[in-house]
Amino acid sequence: MVKAVVGANWGDEGKGKITDMLAEQADIVIRFQGGANAGHTIVNDYGKFALHTLPSGVFYNHTTSIIGNGVALNIPILFEELKSITDRNVPMPKLLVSDRAQMVMPYHILLDQYEEERLGGKSFGSTKSGIAPFYSDKYAKIGFQVSELFDEECLKEKAKRVCELKNVLFEHLYHKPGISPDELLDTLHQYREMVEPYVCNVSAYLDQAIKDGKTILLEGQLGTLKDPDHGIYPMVTSSSTLAAFGAIGAGIPPYEIRQVVTVCKAYSSSVGAGAFVSEIFGEEADELRTRGGDGGEFGATTGRPRRMGWFDCVASKYGCRLQGTTDVAFTVLDVLGYLDEIPVCVGYEIDGEVTTEFPVTYKLEKAKPVYEKLPGWKCDIRGIKNYDELPQNCRAYIEFIEKQIGYPITMVSNGPGRSDIIYRKR
Ligand code: GDP
């Protein structure tokens, strides 16, 4: 049984918490896209952790954690992260790295930084983790695949070829020092030594696991609106954030993905640039940001304050549709307990017309939110375990949103911890 846990919106919906929670019943947790540019925050018996590369199943003894071929693998960061959790008494996880995963190289990170500098005010708000240069190189067929670390001839030839190409940019576009093939080769040898014990033919491993009836979780990063095809291009990430891509980024048949848990946060937040129709500002935003998440809505990787907004039914309906949602996990609902009334964006007004269909980017930039206000519940809902025990107005909020987005909310998260979850019968 393969399940995907993915985001409906801009990311930071609480996928880490939901994956960590579902991993209790899983044998394998696999990251299938993205890199160390975004983070999941997880609160469990060992403490509070920000994971950037490791799958959110690493806290259990019974799970195998896999870095799939679709991931932008930053080897030093992976090993730093492993150390950071084992230093805090988490047992060393069982880890496998796909032999077909490609590696983020130090020059990708430099290129990302230099390009953001060059763009100045017109930058994309990149986290400067090298992700866009990495995926560009992957598709330009000049990336380094983990398997290639074990073919010395290929490495030597490619290191030389890549340096020639990159040095044109370094020297002539960015006016920075170039990189040397010997240094690059050295780095690649270090990476080989670090990763060798974990390298695996992951698609063959998963094929057997599926035959053996194992439960496999595909863990997505970011959300639908950051997908390079279906998101708010060009303010998107560089790999597909959709559950469908889980089949590719892990190496399994698409029809094996039986459940798609799409995580939706009870209000909106976004990092980076781009249109954000239900965005709020000033004191209203500051209050939601400080109360939001677990200790405030600040980036898990960068620490920068997230942009805040009310729940957006238009974006979330679209986000759930593109994911192929079977279940919605509705998270961080407890945070809204302070509000007298809660605005919900139910439509976009574009050129005088109201629509509930999420538009392409140039139209999105003209969209104004149409709000409906729902009464708040004015109390703390943490600790509640049964849906029927939630305050009436809180259930009304959930059911209103469920109707607007058209996908079943089967889980409601009312706190950051593993056990802060309310299952709803279908
Ligand atoms: P992800 O990237 O989708 O995993 O999301 P993040 O980890 O960036 O953001 C989610 C934040 O909300 C984290 O700080 C979580 O600990 C926290 N969180 C998750 N679910 C809940 C919830 O139901 N209530 C509260 N208060 N916090 C939550």
Rounded distance, CA 255 to CA 202, Å? 18
Q: Does the beta carbon of 64 lie inside 6 Å of ligand 1? A: no
Ligand 1 atom nearest 414 alpha carbon = 23
The residue type of 342 is I
pLDDT at 273: 81
Q: Does the beta carbon of 40 lie inside 6 Å of ligand 1? A: yes
* Model confidence at 41: pLDDT above 90: no
If one residue of 40, 41, 226, 330 were mutated to test the ligand 1 pocket, choosing by the most ligand atoms within 8 A of its CB, it would be 41
Ligand 1 atom nearest 11 alpha carbon = 3
If one residue of 217, 332, 336 were mutated to test the ligand 1 pocket, choosing by the most ligand atoms within 8 A of its CB, it would be 332
Q: Does the beta carbon of 414 lie inside 6 Å of ligand 1? A: yes
Kindly state the percentage of the chain with pLDDT values over 90. Answer: 86
When pLDDT is averaged across residues 55-59 and rounded to a whole number, the result is 89
When pLDDT is averaged across residues 157-165 and rounded to a whole number, the result is 96
The alpha carbon of residue 227 and the mean position of all alpha carbons in its chain are separated, in whole angstroms, by: 10
If one residue of 40, 48, 294 were mutated to test the ligand 1 pocket, choosing by the most ligand atoms within 8 A of its CB, it would be 294
Q: Which of 65-74, 301-310, 414-423 has the lowest mean pLDDT?
A: 301-310
Distance 16 CA to ligand 1 centre (A): 7
pLDDT at 372: 98
Please, which pLDDT band fits residue 410 given cuts at 50, 70 and 90?
Answer: very high
Q: Does the beta carbon of 8 lie inside 6 Å of ligand 1? A: no
- Residue owning the nearest CA to atom 18 of ligand 1: 416
pLDDT at 116: 86
* Model confidence at 124: pLDDT above 90: no
Distance 303 CA to ligand 1 centre (A): 14
Ligand 1 atom nearest 331 alpha carbon = 23
Using one digit for the tens of pLDDT, what is the confidence trace for 304-335?
Answer: 899 999 999 999 999 999 999 999 999 999 99
Contacts of 112 (CB under 8 A, 6+ apart): 126, 128, 129, 130, 131, 132, 133
Rounded distance, CA 81 to CA 416, Å? 21
Q: Does the beta carbon of 37 lie inside 6 Å of ligand 1? A: no
Rounded distance, CA 317 to CA 224, Å? 11
Strand partners, 295: none
Ligand 1 atom nearest 223 alpha carbon = 3
Mean pLDDT of the chain: 94
Please, which pLDDT band fits residue 125 given cuts at 50, 70 and 90?
Answer: low
Rounded distance, CA 131 to CA 104, Å? 7
Alpha carbon of 97 to those of 106, 199, 380: distances in Å? 19, 5, 42
Q: Does the beta carbon of 331 lie inside 6 Å of ligand 1? A: yes
Using one digit for the tens of pLDDT, what is the confidence trace for 376-392?
Answer: 999 999 999 999 999 99
Q: Does the beta carbon of 411 lie inside 6 Å of ligand 1? A: no
Q: Return the closest-CA partner of residue 243 out of 314, 327, 312, 325.
A: 325
If one residue of 53, 290, 307, 331 were mutated to test the ligand 1 pocket, choosing by the most ligand atoms within 8 A of its CB, it would be 331
Q: Given its phi and psi angles, is residue 128 left (phi above 0), alpha (psi -120 to 50 degrees) or beta?
A: left
Sheet holding 268-270, edge to edge: 268-270, 307-309, 279-280
Return the top range by mean pLDDT from 29-43, 321-335, 411-425: 321-335
Query: Active-site residue numbers?
Result: 12, 40
Ligand 1 atom nearest 19 alpha carbon = 4
- Residue owning the nearest CA to atom 6 of ligand 1: 12
Rounded distance, CA 355 to CA 211, Å? 45
When pLDDT is averaged across residues 164-172 and rounded to a whole number, the result is 95
pLDDT at 13: 93
Ligand 1 atom nearest 38 alpha carbon = 2
pLDDT at 120: 82
* Better pLDDT: 303 or 161: 161
pLDDT at 281: 96
* Model confidence at 375: pLDDT above 80: yes
